[in-house]
Structure 1
Amino acid sequence: MTQTAWDQRYDTPGYLFGLEPSAFLVAQRHRLARGMEVLAVADGEGRNGVWLAAQGMTVHAVDGSAVALRKAARLARDRGVSLRATRADLVTWDWPRAACDAVVSIFLHLPPETRPAVNRAMARALKPGGVLILEAFHPEQRRHGTGGPSVASMLYDQATLRADFEGLLAFDLLEDGEVALGPGVDLDTGHDRVGHTIRLVGERMA
């Protein structure tokens, strides 16, 4: 989707993906400490970035949608936290280098012609020993129909992520499986959805 298309999708009174942070991110809280510099990639309306800021971290959220980032700023104000926000095309953005203690990427999906470079830029944004926390939809997700891209090449499996981060990350966790995704605001459902995701935690190699 283009930035304009995402602006249009986010231009609703509510929050498209809800206000609660990713359950996988919350489960990795023990890897994160107050005062860390965290880059929240494709952070959308801020549900993850604002949660990170509320845990005492310094958060830089980057997303392609100005509409989403305005909603993220509003959420941050409502929660009484600070959030630095940048609108950028992740493919052409001048990424930080060795500047972040953690990078968080939740449900960012890119086509194969741009995905490897962006993934490697995320890893290179980390300081040595810094942690990348990533969750995305796996190809098996297409059986569920509960979110994510319909194009198979934009879904991630273990081999794809191993290749993208080769030589940059030491993996603490790389697994896929069925998970409860939570309520889907954009799908107008009040019950938990089941999906198939891939989850990665890796540390930046020196």
Structure 2
Amino acid sequence: MKEMWDERYSTEEYVYGEVPNEYFHSRFTQFDPGEILFAAEGEGRNAVFAAKCDWKVTAFDQSEAGKRKALKLAEKHKVALDYRVGDLPSLGFEKGDFDAIALVYAHFPVEVRKKYHELLISYLRRDGLIFFEGFSKKHKKYQEKNPKVGGPKEEALLFSIEEIKEDFGSLNFLELYETEVDLKEGTGHDGLGAVIRFVAQKK
């Protein structure tokens, strides 16, 4: 998986563009700055946006190529990121480190997904927020019509509302819904797709 992402991010072009995810942008800006963690952040578009909004930003990914492009984008916008490369349990995060966590298309392997979600929740402070957008199980039919819309090809990596409630059920959902969205995020997400979105708060 790491090699796949390094190859995908090896281009000069930003595969998913340089602007933040629309849903994340719309919800995130409603809250006061604090410390935020971006999971599977790739080329850094969302993390850089948060840093520009005066948040203290930490991010991680498996891809060194993604990190290089994220830091390049941060330099372009004159902001700082703490960007770590590796697997989540070994990155040195502690319980209660963050006021918010962003999961924007963070589709972890099925065998570690529940464990990673539990870890991420533990890193949140009380009243901390999770901002989430990921492809739903219904996304498969959109991929079949238009491969340019992107997203995991394995159905097991896609989300259902039931799985979200199971993994994040300890949180208070401020909103949770599944919807069709017309994505315009670089060449990586281009076209109609099906996503699940939520904002949730730690009790």
Please classify the TM superposition score into its range, dividing by the shorter chain length. over 0.9
- Matched letter for residue 198 of structure 1: I
Say if 1:136 and 1:199, in contact at 8 Å, map to a contact too. Answer: yes
Task: Report the CA distance between 1:186 and its aligned residue.
Answer: 3.8
**Alignment correspondent of 1:166:** 169
- Matched letter for residue 180 of structure 2: E
Say if 2:150 and 2:188, in contact at 8 Å, map to a contact too. Answer: no
Once the two structures are superposed, residues 163-204 of structure 1 have per-residue CA deviations (whole angstroms, 9 ceiling, x without a partner) of 01222x1111110010121144247xxxx5111100011101
Give the 4+ runs in structure 1 shifted more than 6 A: none
Say if 1:183 and 1:193, in contact at 8 Å, map to a contact too. Answer: no
% of aligned pairs identical? 30
**Alignment correspondent of 1:143:** 141
Q: Normalising by structure 1, report the TM-score.
A: 0.91
> Where do 5+ consecutive residues of structure 2 fail to align?
144-148
**Alignment correspondent of 1:20:** 19
SS of the residue 1:24 aligns to: helix
- Matched letter for residue 19 of structure 1: E
Once the two structures are superposed, residues 66-114 of structure 1 have per-residue CA deviations (whole angstroms, 9 ceiling, x without a partner) of 1110110000000011111101113554443111000001001123221
- Indicate whether 1:157 and 2:160 are aligned: yes
Say if 1:144 and 1:194, in contact at 8 Å, map to a contact too. Answer: yes
- Matched letter for residue 70 of structure 1: R
Say if 2:136 and 2:194, in contact at 8 Å, map to a contact too. Answer: yes
Structure 1 residues 117 and 158: CA distance shift in structure 2, 3 A: same
Say if 1:46 and 1:73, in contact at 8 Å, map to a contact too. Answer: yes
Moved more, 82-91 or 116-125: 82-91
**Alignment correspondent of 1:180:** 182
**Alignment correspondent of 1:50:** 48
- Matched letter for residue 84 of structure 1: D
What value does the CA root-mean-square deviation take over the aligned residues? 1.5
Say if 2:60 and 2:86, in contact at 8 Å, map to a contact too. Answer: yes
Number of residue pairs the alignment of both structures matches:
198
Task: Report the CA distance between 1:31 and its aligned residue.
Answer: 3.7
SS of the residue 2:70 aligns to: helix
Q: Normalising by structure 2, report the TM-score.
A: 0.92
Structure 1 residues 144 and 83: CA distance shift in structure 2, 3 A: same
Superposed, which structure 2 residues align to 1:187-198 within 5 Å?
A: 193-198=191-196
